[in-house]
Amino acid sequence: NNVQVSVLGLGAMGAALAHALVTAGYATTVWNRSPGKADGLVAQGAEAAATTVDAVRAGRLVIVCLLDHASVHEVLDPIAHELSGRTLINVTTSSPAQSRELAAWAAQAGVAYLDGGIMAVPQMIGRPGASVLYSGSADVFHQYRPLLDLWGTSTYFGEDAGLASLYDLALLAGMYVMFAGFMHGTAMVAPAGMTARQFADMATPWLTAMTGAFQGFAAVIDGGDYTVKGQQSLEFSTLDTLLAASSDQGISTEAVAMVQRLIQRQIDAGHGKEGFARIIESIKHPQNPQ
């Protein structure tokens, strides 16, 4: 392949992305704010650029993986004129609004823009299980698809540059609440002498099995009828016992109380006999639960 690529940002993730490109034989120029982080990549065949201008001039395609949206602007604003006519792929974690803002900024500067959300840790890049979500320019996605596929499974969601960020953050919401639930359980069993390691051994198969419930909830939610037979009811799902047991162990009830509040609002609104999936109504209607 003869694509010249520049990678700005060699943190844990940027370095992993650049490593995959160098390994695949792409002519790769790298830049990082603090010196030293390019050394390993240079040893593998990358070129190190001393300035962002040098880095951008070396590549038709510029990949940006920095800390956050503010750092992306800090790096790119002064070199907008250099980026003009080139292609920018930004895989820095951003909010949908930030991604749309950067897409508009790029359009103004004459830069083709694709936004990415990485669903992987650096060690997973280029290995099975890594996935990257994209939105923005379809032309960019299709033109560079072989390169993007080096990192993981690539999925494109449409021209709205905010969609990749939206779906990325929606998946992270599920992850963080699950992680908090795991921490809660770990804290609950600690006073009884169980180590976190032992609890992890129990929780992994249990939570893995419970993901099997997602499709059932999804069928109810998409069908729009929370009264269909065969569901666990909201009344049955009350977490009072779980909250009391947590208090008895002397731990915070916050992680579980949050779920209980979502349930209780639906019960209070008269929906106690309906299915657990109905708590999505508490989430969708924060002011006025139906």
Query: Which residues would be at the binding site for ligand NDP (CB under 6 A)?
Result: 9-14, 32-34, 37, 65-68, 71, 74-75, 92-93, 118, 121-122
Give the rounded distance of the alpha carbon of 9 from its chain centre.
18
For ligand NDP, the closer of residues 52 and 231 by Cβ is 52
Min separation Cβ 210 and ligand NDP, Å: 24
Contacts of 194 (CB under 8 A, 6+ apart): none
- Torsion (CA) 145, 147, 151, 155 in degrees, nearest 10: -10
- Torsion (CA) 104, 18, 10, 121 in degrees, nearest 10: 90
For ligand NDP, the closer of residues 28 and 92 by Cβ is 92
For ligand NDP, the closer of residues 25 and 35 by Cβ is 35
Give the whole-angstrom CA distance, residue 218 versus residue 243: 27
Q: How many residues does the chain have?
A: 290
Give the whole-angstrom CA distance, residue 182 versus residue 22: 38
Residue type, 94: S
Token pair recorded at residue 34: 């603090």
Min separation Cβ 73 and ligand NDP, Å: 9
Min separation Cβ 100 and ligand NDP, Å: 17
For ligand NDP, the closer of residues 152 and 185 by Cβ is 152
Min separation Cβ 154 and ligand NDP, Å: 15
Q: At what angle do helices 96-109 and 69-76 cross, to 10 degrees?
A: 10
Closest-CA residue to 111 (of 138, 82, 133):
82
For ligand NDP, the closer of residues 155 and 238 by Cβ is 155
Min separation Cβ 146 and ligand NDP, Å: 22
Min separation Cβ 119 and ligand NDP, Å: 7
For ligand NDP, the closer of residues 109 and 119 by Cβ is 119
For ligand NDP, the closer of residues 13 and 49 by Cβ is 13
Residue nearest to ligand NDP (CB): 11
Dihedral sign computed on CA atoms, order 22, 99, 132, 204: positive
Token pair recorded at residue 214: 């997602």
Give the whole-angstrom CA distance, residue 103 versus residue 148: 19
Min separation Cβ 230 and ligand NDP, Å: 38
What are the residue ranges of helices labelled H in the chain?
Answer: 12-23, 39-44, 52-58, 69-76, 80-83, 96-109, 138-143, 145-148, 163-189, 196-210, 214-223, 240-248, 254-268, 279-284
For ligand NDP, the closer of residues 118 and 140 by Cβ is 118
Min separation Cβ 178 and ligand NDP, Å: 16
